[in-house]
Amino acid sequence: MAKQAPANALKTAPKKQGGFAKWLPLYVLMIPGLAYLVINNYLPMFGLTFAFKKINYNVGVFNSPWCGLDNFGFLFKTKDAFIIFRNTICYNLVFILLGNVLAIVIAIMLEQIRTKALKVYQTCILIPYLLSITVVSYLAFAFLSTDNGFINNSILAPLGVEPISWYSTPKYWPFILVFINLWKGFGYSSILYFATLIGVDGSYYEAAVIDGASTWQQIKYVTLPCLKTTIITLVIMAIGRMFYSDFGLFYQVPMNNGMLFDVTNTIDTYVYRGLLQLNDVGRSSAAGFLQSLLGFTLVMITNVITRKVDPDSALF
């Protein structure tokens, strides 16, 4: 409660002192960030109108004629529509679920390590996150290539198993892509959780130990509840990106191989492949617009549900 007092003071103080002037330095500090936000995130929103226009550069993009929802049609044109939405959503669900579980486990493990090796581990798990996806795709190729690949030559061959033609067998790819995504992302997200964990007051654990809690019980009753807000925040943020996919992961890593489209085609890659040659600004904006709209809706719904269940954890 002692901590709450200053917070209350902050809330009431400005009224008494007519405090805009008092907070002026803080507002000034805010200007660069605000300017960045407006220029980078709000001004481009004009572009959303492109989604409803038939662009003609001769009269300028703003004077181009409106065309209603025509630009959205191509996304639903074929039976691919089902596949690309299914792939995008299902992969994201798996990524969110497994990604967070793995990150939390790693964060807890890191937290338990009290040696100097911690820095080394932290660096090691972050390296995959820092690799360019193109590099990752060639790493994958080094493992999976049919004639020179590590798996076929050094693992399957000694075991007497026939080499597998990875790049022409779709059934393996959901696992390969999930594995690569987890491997690439777990370092970064576990650091986020780890940052929350080191902020947890050590006296909770001391109290738990005195009460005779085992390590497992400490994790269950102290660590996880402390992480709850962070988990919910990160998950809601991830849900907002539900209709986007990591273009590099789904395009570069399978090397744009037609044989694998059934399991690797997502909204982003479909739009890219379909519109690359057409240079059609209107329809690519339409796809982006739809993705953001659906993502936004999902975030709002999730937040409403969260607020119902646990008001403290809701984002807004």
Partner 1 sequence: MAKKITAVLLALCLIVTVFAACGGNEGGSSSQAGGSSSEASSSGGESSGAESSEANENTGDVPTISLMVTCGTTPADTADVEAALSEITREKIGCNVELITIEIGNASQQMNLLLAGGDDTLDVFYAGIGTSFVNVASQGQAMELDSLMEPYAEEMKKALGENVYESGRINGKLYGIGRLLDQASVPCFTIRGDIAQEFGYKNGDKINLEKLTKLFQDVHDKYPDTPIIGPNNGSPNIGDSRVDSLGDGNKLGVLGNMGQDETVINYYESEYYTELVSYFKQWKEMGVYMPDLLNSTEAPVDFIPTGKCFGCFAGHFSAEMNGIWSTSNFGVDCASLQIYDDTVAVTPGAYGCINPATKNPEMAAGLLHLLSTNADVENLLINGIEGQHYQVLDDGSATYLEGQDITSVGWCLGYSWANQNSTLSIPFDYPADYFDQLLAANAAAKQSKAFGCQFDLTGVSDAVSACTNVVNQYANPLAAGSVEDFDATLKKFQEDLKAAGIDEIIAARQEQLDAFLGK
* Contact positions vs partner 1 (CB under 8 A): 3-4, 7, 33, 36-37, 40-41, 44, 55-61, 73-74, 77-80, 141, 145-147, 165, 167-168, 196, 199, 229-230, 233-234, 237, 240-241, 244, 255-259, 261, 265, 270, 273-281, 283, 312-313, 315
In the complex, least distance from residue 133 CB atom to partner 1, rounded to whole angstroms: 14
Q: Of 122 and 313, which has the nearer Cβ to partner 1?
A: 313
Query: What contacts 24+ positions apart, CB below 8 Å, involve 308-312?
Result: 310/228, 310/232, 312/229
Beta bridge pairs of residue 53: 66
Residue among 183 and 272 whose Cβ is closer to partner 1: 272
CB atoms within 10 A of CB 55: 19
Task: State in angstroms the smallest separation of the CB of 20 from partner 1.
Answer: 22
Q: How far apart are the C-alpha atoms of 284 and 50, rounded to whole Å?
A: 9
Q: Please say which residue, 120 or 195, places its beta carbon nearer to partner 1.
A: 195
Which one, 120 or 304, has the nearer CB to partner 1? 304
Return the number of the residue (62 or 216) whose C-beta is nearest partner 1: 62
Smallest distance, Å, CB 23 to partner 1? 17
State which H helix or E strand residue 250 sits in: helix 247-251
DSSP category for residue 312: G
CB within 8 Å of 21: residues ≥ 6 apart: none
Q: Which is nearer to partner 1, 184 or 283 (CB)?
A: 283
Nearest approach in angstroms of CB 126 to partner 1 is: 16
Per-residue CA distances from 90 to 85, 138, 244, 304 (Å): 8, 25, 11, 22
Whichever of 112 and 168 has its CB closer to partner 1, that residue is 168
Residue 255 CB, shortest distance to partner 1, in Å, is 5
Least distance (Å) from partner 1 to the CB of residue 25? 19
Length of the chain: 316
Rounded to an integer, what is the distance from CA 306 to the centroid of its chain? Answer: 19
Count CB atoms within 10 A of the CB of residue 115: 8
What gap in Å lies between CA 59 and CA 124, rounded to an integer? Answer: 54
**Which two tokens mark 147?**
């004639």
Assigned token pair, 298: 């999902």
Shortest spacing between CB 81 and partner 1, in angstroms: 9
